Amino acid sequence: MGTDGTVRRVVVTGMGLVSPLGHDVASSWEAMLAGRSGGGPVTLFEATEEFACRIACEVKDFDPLDYIERKEVKRYDRVSQFAVAAAAQALEAAGLEGVPEGEDPKRYGVIFGSGIGGIATFEEQHRRFLEGGPRRVSPFFIPMFIPDMSAGYISMRWNLQGPNYATVSACASSAHAIGDAMRHIRHGDADVMVAGGAEATITPMTFAGFSAMKAMSTRNDDPAGASRPFSADRDGFVMGEGAGALVLESLEHALERGAPILAEIAGYGLSADAYHITAPPPDGYGAQNAMRMALAYAGAAPEEVDYVNAHGTSTMADAIETHAIKEVLGPHAYETVVGSTKSMTGHLLGAAGALEAIVCVQACRDGKIPPTINFTGPDPACDLNYAHDGMVERPVSLALTNSFGFGGHNVCLAIRRWEG
């Protein structure tokens, strides 16, 4: 609560991004607006023909030494390298090099999600264990593997002593992180939060597992065109990797220090399907509940929504999400642009929500909505405006972004343009 007893508004004052399309927000955003695909053959491991899926949206040419000292890098799994890089960018953009002199570090916190955590470290250490026994396992194995360590590294690096934890809810992880961080600020637990998520799961075991579920695209001869949300012939998602971070701040605190205000986190909806371990219910009632809750939280009517950044994974669930959007927005759904940036970035799993929240902030700021690329033909069940013809220029006052995870986790964030 604010000093006068009112619920505090929460704004975004900095953002950072490491994605398959670029190593920062500006380059990734430019690539999205241009409709560029981050897809290509897997290079991070030897993807032989035994793997049904051999394509991914990898982060290319990333150098962790740009953000982490050489002696420390070997103690960071790739997932935490991405996380610290994104957080460093976000804090710099917010004009914060840490907790300003004279402020209480307990008022600064971190919530950073990951669906899987340091799986590459787990696989490598398991290989060492099988080949050489227990003594070959690194003392850094557990700290490198556990999903909360990115949040820990960020808090230690910048002395952020407030609320600090990781959200682990599959592909909803970083959206939960942003929503929870917003709530901590609104209710007075903190003034500033670094929130987001990271994922680095382009590994043999991850690919074997998702392929066994038949969840991933097998268009190995067309990696750039394989992620095709809402198209009739979509056949599964394409794995991505990276991290997104947002600095969230109470409006009062941001104004007091003259921070750049990029957008407002206006609403947060969360729900459970309570239905199936991986599949959403046919009518998407859990997704509907999350979207309705986000709108109510924001005090917004369905007719105010200009853009929905859909979960849109290029799976059969795209039709269920489309139905849910129509149920929530009613006839206005046909006036709203509904897009999936996963057509370009692939699916960043636990980091997807953070990346896509950043997309919504950018859309609100620039009045530009990225396209959904790789459209090959209409699915009658997917009949909304998905920006298949290219980037859409229109004012965006209110955007929704959906994130849904295995286990039936649903999150919707409502992001409002900052009017000053």
Residues known to be catalytic: 171, 311, 347
Residue 376's CB is within 10 A of a number of other CB atoms, namely 11
Tokens 């993807």 appear where? 47
Q: How far apart are the two ends of the chain, measured CA to CA in Å?
A: 21
For 275-292, b where at least 16 C-beta lie within 10 A, e where not — what string? Answer: eeeeebbeebbbbbbbbb
- Residues shown for the chain: 420
Q: Which CB contacts under 8 angstroms, 24+ apart, belong to 359-362?
A: 359/29, 359/32, 359/309, 359/401, 360/263, 360/307, 360/309, 360/396, 360/399, 360/400, 360/401, 360/413, 360/415, 361/12, 361/15, 361/246, 361/262, 361/263, 361/415, 362/25, 362/29
Residue 131: half-sphere exposure toward Cβ, Cα within 13 Å = 8
Are the CB atoms for 266 and 297 separated by under 8 Å? yes
Coil/strand/helix, residue 70: helix
Coil/strand/helix, residue 110: strand
Residue 12 makes CB contacts below 8 A (sequence gap 6+) with 246, 247, 248, 249, 261, 262, 263, 264, 265, 361, 415
Q: DSSP letters of 66-99?
A: GTS-HHHHTTS-HHHHHHHHHHHHHHHHTT-SSS
